[in-house]
Amino acid sequence: EGGQGGEGQSRAVSGIAADKKQVELAMTHVPDQPGIAAQLFGALASNNISVDMIIQSVRQDDNTNDIAFTVDQTDLQDTLTLLEKVKADMGSGEIYYETDVAKVSIVGVGMIDRPGIAADMFKALAQANINLKMISTSEIKISCLIDQAQADDAVRALHRQFFPEAANDEPKLVDAKVGY
């Protein structure tokens, strides 16, 4: 399997983490023009709100975008206040948010050189009947936003996938933030 390291071979995935303090927010019908994302995320940054996962998708019907992203739960009210202001300035659609979400991540410096790590992660989560709401990747981390109630099950499924030699050991479930 892609994530398993053999004797003398570095392990592609070195850790698994869950952050149960995430909120998913979305703005619909954001104008599809240069500078809009900079305006939105600049306003958040100016107010010391850190954004984690971001997805922008183009709507084919009206030349607008939907932008979804995550922030820490402690920033929810400030983020909603800012989004209402940005929404009025941009003339965008609705604002939605969901608080019952969690981010699960696998990390490892060897992942970039090992094709199939993401597929292995998604397969393990699918086998545990866990639906993915958002996906974010970097050279050393793959994160998925899921239902908060399934976070511990997700960590266990990923533990079995990437650390099979310890499959009978119960992983230590710690609510942690992972940032690189």
Of 152, 157, 141, give the one whose Cα is nearest residue 175. Answer: 152
What are the residue boundaries of the structural domains of the chain, listed by start?
15-20+100-166, 22-98
DSSP label at residue 32:
-
Per-residue pLDDT of 101-124, as tens digits, reads 999 999 998 888 888 999 999 999
Which class is 22-98 in CATH?
alpha beta
15-20+100-166: CATH number: 3.30.2130.10
Alpha helices in the chain (DSSP H): 36-46, 76-90, 117-127, 151-162
Per-residue pLDDT of 118-137, as tens digits, reads 999 999 999 999 999 999 99
